[in-house]
Amino acid sequence: MVVKYFIFISQLLFAIFVIGQKSDVFIEISETDIVVGQNITISITSSLNGKIEFDFPSNFQKGYTQMEGMSQEYKNGVSKTVYYKTQNGFFTQKGKYVIGPAVVKSKGKIYKSNRVKVNVKKSDKTIPKSNEFNRKLKTIKTLYGETNVSNQEIYEGESVNLNAKIYSKYPFSKYGYTPYVVSGKHDDFEISNKNPLALAEEKIEGESFYTLILDNRVVFPLKSGTFVINPFEFDIVDNRIYRVNSDKKIITVRKLPIKNRPDDFIGLVGDYEFDVSLSSNEADVNEVITLQIRIDGSGNFHHALIPDLTLPEELELYADPVEKKDYQITSKGFEGALKYTYPLKVIKKNSTKIPEISISYFNPTEKQYRTYTSESLPINENIDTTDIEMIENAVTAEKVNKEADINQKNEEIETKNANWIWYLIILVLISGFAMFLWNYLKRRGAVGQKNEKLPTSNEIKDLLFGLENQTEPSIILSQLEDCLSQTCSMIIGIPFLKVSRNEVFTLLIEKLEANQLQRLKELYKQIDVMRFSKETSKLTLNDMKSECKSLILSILSKKS
């Protein structure tokens, strides 16, 4: 009897342990209540190092978007490796399906994922009429496939819209699709469509055909030359299998003109508009203002280079520019906006101007480079220069008076040169005064050095642990920056206020490990994003505090 109770309790504890454990393999589906032909994405993730094995349902037609690999997730200052597998596609028949489990074999053990239920309903969408097709096909068969190309001759950086299309004399429901393949190095993006794949009816030279668009992609060739679009395969399953192959297509990519290429070309190809603005035209010394460059339009936004700035001596670039991407893929390439925000620190309070900013791009329609030039941006234009002029005049007058006094003294000394004894006495007095002045300046310099002493490790740790109970965001950001700045000062041996941040990074190259320097730059960047930009930082304040503490303690441990 005791043995039975023991076995029962053991099994119960084991079940509780299994249920309470966090799943190491996880299946996620973009939508679970769908209709026949509707595109979905099945994602499988795992924290285990092993091959992900998964059998798709027999009525699931795979799409061309398939990815498998690993990535790094960053959370609370800890980096975690995640293995993933994704596949898009659609169901060809209605019904209730159970997706999973996926299996991962790792270190001699088998791990299974969760299961996900998917309800697939019959599509009640009727076959629409379409009059957009106006090309003439010399020989049209009962079943025909074509890869549509938006433009077969383009420039480097220009995009091409591709899709696979089927024409059939008879309606069909069951089919298989092997997508086309583009040769050569290129960027490939899918234009997602959540609507169900459905037949449309078109008229071609008076004859009716059922058509089906299988995918919609945008490709950016990365170099000049010839790119081949190899045929796709399409099977209709009826009493037998009917197979059709599309024709091969060729895309010719031309080099961008080298002649007359502007020095301020930033790699953009397309149609764009630009705007440059300043957060404030008035600022005190050590105050930070922001300059923003906004680019609107369509083209290869993802290839853009950060525009260079030429700054007057009154300003310095306080940190790296913050980039905000607000665009999405369309049939014309990427459409939307790209913003660059530059934090600028005022180091001299004089009336000055930021020179004109010029940015060039290539317009493939006009087949030429276009240049945008902003107006110059005034800084402290209304500053009162009266005090400055008064000080300069006072200095000039004092200089004239000193010169007059010196001339008068020289005349008096000349009259007394006859008496060498008095000359010797004066010389001794002057020497004694010089010695006294030298000792005084030496002691004063030593005091100044003491006043500018560098922070110690213990002082930095006190600052660091003072962050623990702080909750006000603005104070946290200020203290985070202060902790990092004090640490940098200790490492390079120079007070932080005497050098710019970029100069600090240069001095730290040989004093910190590469990963430590990169983490330091990233922390400064996230602080600037949260303080100066409207973009949302990818780290929370708690994440930033944890990362700051981890980084500084690792630096101090190797310094001691």
What sign has the CA pseudo-torsion 359, 364, 369, 373? Answer: negative
- In terms of average pLDDT, the best of 20-29, 34-43, 253-262 is 253-262
- Mean pLDDT calculated for residue range 319-334: 92
Report if residue 228 sits inside a domain.
yes
DSSP-derived secondary structure letter, 114: -
- Mean pLDDT calculated for residue range 452-480: 80
Higher pLDDT, 370 or 389: 370
Structural domain boundaries, residue 136:
129-254
pLDDT value at residue 462: 84
Shared domain for 231 and 297, answered yes or no, is no
The total number of structural domains in the chain stands at 4
Shared domain for 228 and 301, answered yes or no, is no
What sign has the CA pseudo-torsion 512, 515, 519, 522? Answer: positive
Which of 363, 372, 361, 265 minimizes the C-alpha distance to 308?
265
- In this predicted structure, the answer to whether residue 262 has a pLDDT above a threshold of 50 is yes
pLDDT value at residue 133: 35
Shared domain for 102 and 61, answered yes or no, is yes
Question: For residue 295, what pLDDT band results from cuts at 50, 70 and 90?
Answer: very high
Cα 138 to Cα 165, 205, 270, distances in angstroms: 17, 10, 34
CATH of the domain at 216: 2.60.40.10
pLDDT in tens, 167-190: 888 787 767 888 999 999 999 999
pLDDT value at residue 497: 65
Shared domain for 284 and 361, answered yes or no, is yes
Of 379, 405, 420, the domain-final residue? 379
Shared domain for 224 and 279, answered yes or no, is no
How far is it, in rounded angstroms, from Cα 304 to Cα 268?
Answer: 6
CATH of the domain at 33: 2.60.120.570
Shared domain for 134 and 240, answered yes or no, is yes
pLDDT value at residue 135: 39
Shared domain for 499 and 521, answered yes or no, is yes
Shared domain for 243 and 286, answered yes or no, is no
Shared domain for 151 and 235, answered yes or no, is yes
Report if residue 42 sits inside a domain.
yes
Question: For residue 543, what pLDDT band results from cuts at 50, 70 and 90?
Answer: confident
Considering the chain, what is the average pLDDT of its residues?
80
CATH of the domain at 308: 2.60.40.740
Which of 501, 523, 467, 533 minimizes the C-alpha distance to 286?
501
Which of 115, 118, 92, 116 minimizes the C-alpha distance to 32?
118
Shared domain for 367 and 292, answered yes or no, is yes
Question: Beta partners for 42?
Answer: 29, 87
pLDDT in tens, 189-244: 998 876 667 788 888 777 888 888 888 899 999 999 999 999 998 888 766 777 88
DSSP-derived secondary structure letter, 446: H
pLDDT in tens, 370-387: 999 999 999 998 865 554
Cα 79 to Cα 73, 76, 84, 537, distances in angstroms: 6, 8, 16, 17
How far is it, in rounded angstroms, from Cα 222 to Cα 276?
Answer: 29
Question: For residue 258, what pLDDT band results from cuts at 50, 70 and 90?
Answer: very high
Report if residue 384 sits inside a domain.
no
Report if residue 437 sits inside a domain.
no
Shared domain for 518 and 473, answered yes or no, is yes
pLDDT in tens, 59-108: 887 765 666 766 655 444 455 677 878 887 788 888 999 998 999 888 88
Of 379, 403, 421, the domain-final residue? 379
Report if residue 40 sits inside a domain.
yes
Report if residue 333 sits inside a domain.
yes
The size of the chain, in residues, is 560
pLDDT value at residue 360: 97
Report if residue 398 sits inside a domain.
no
Question: For residue 449, what pLDDT band results from cuts at 50, 70 and 90?
Answer: very low
pLDDT in tens, 401-422: 556 566 665 555 555 555 667 7
The H or E element containing residue 395 is: helix 386-416
- Mean pLDDT calculated for residue range 278-298: 93
pLDDT in tens, 516-537: 888 888 888 888 777 766 556 6
Shared domain for 236 and 154, answered yes or no, is yes
Report if residue 443 sits inside a domain.
no
pLDDT value at residue 402: 58
Q: What is the DSSP string of 23-61?
A: PSEEEEES-SEEETT--EEEEEEESSSS-EE----TTEE
CB 320 within 8 A of CB 342: no
- Mean pLDDT calculated for residue range 278-296: 93
Helix pair 473-492, 457-465: axis angle to 10 deg: 170
Of 340, 358, 379, the domain-final residue? 379
Q: What is the DSSP string of 457-487?
A: HHHHHHHHHTTTT---HHHHHHHHHHHHHHH
